[in-house]
Structure 1
């Protein structure tokens, strides 16, 4: 049953994943020409594109994750007791639950977070967004490597 739910979630998230694969493929080609040594692997419940030069962050599109070429944004970059890859993994679960609505919901909550926090940077995007609450615990909050929150 768990396997069937996982497959169904991936199918439901497929439109977002296709966008991620398209952007990741373009980033892979651009990165190859720019010498960022892009590579692809399959971890964190996703196809992962690493060393994408135009990302300036890490971003999840369905079951595709794109990482910048800055070591701060590597999938293995430490974030206290977990890694950036662990955070992005949680977004894949969100995408499997929300399906077609994942990217629009992420945009609405992210922009709303920037407006309510008054911080119009990537930090503001994460500050109050419901979809960032579990992947990015606040100061003093504990982080668990197990799937938590309403997503898994």
Structure 2
């Protein structure tokens, strides 16, 4: 990971893949997604970061729509929602520490997008 950084424009965002700094598997701010690795590359997309890369891509795309709808309230609402879920023992995305990662963000997803 962290090799051959690339920039793509797709899935409602500018995608920075193979982040050389590392960190979490992905983070979305507005219409920018920074990936630790490359979920679009079939050679390295499956693995511990993304058991299902298409779900990870869709999950981050949903965050871009949240950012469009919530504007400056997106980041605080995401952090508060994630922390609330962690405090209740359900993991950051509400699926449990070992359960399925459900995208809470689908709530704000506009139909037809």
8 Å Cα contact 2:14-2:31 kept in structure 1: yes
TM-score, normalization by structure 2: 0.70
Give the structure with the higher percent helix.
1
Which residue in the other structure is 2:73 paired with? 101
TM-score, normalization by structure 1: 0.53
Q: Distance in 2 between matches of 1:110 and 1:42?
A: 27
Structure 1, unaligned stretches of length 5 or more? 1-30, 136-148
- 1:105 Cα deviation from its structure 2 partner: 0.6
1:79 aligns to 2:52 (yes or no): yes
Which residue in the other structure is 1:133 paired with? 104
| RMSD (Å), alpha carbons | 2.5
1:111-131 Cα distance to aligned partner (Å, 9 max, x none)? 1110011x6xxxx11126xx9
Q: Distance in 1 between matches of 2:58 and 2:103?
A: 13
1:27-48 Cα distance to aligned partner (Å, 9 max, x none)? xxxx5xxxx1101010110001
Q: Moved runs in structure 1, 4+ residues, more than 3 A? A: 75-78
Which structure has the larger Rg?
Answer: 1
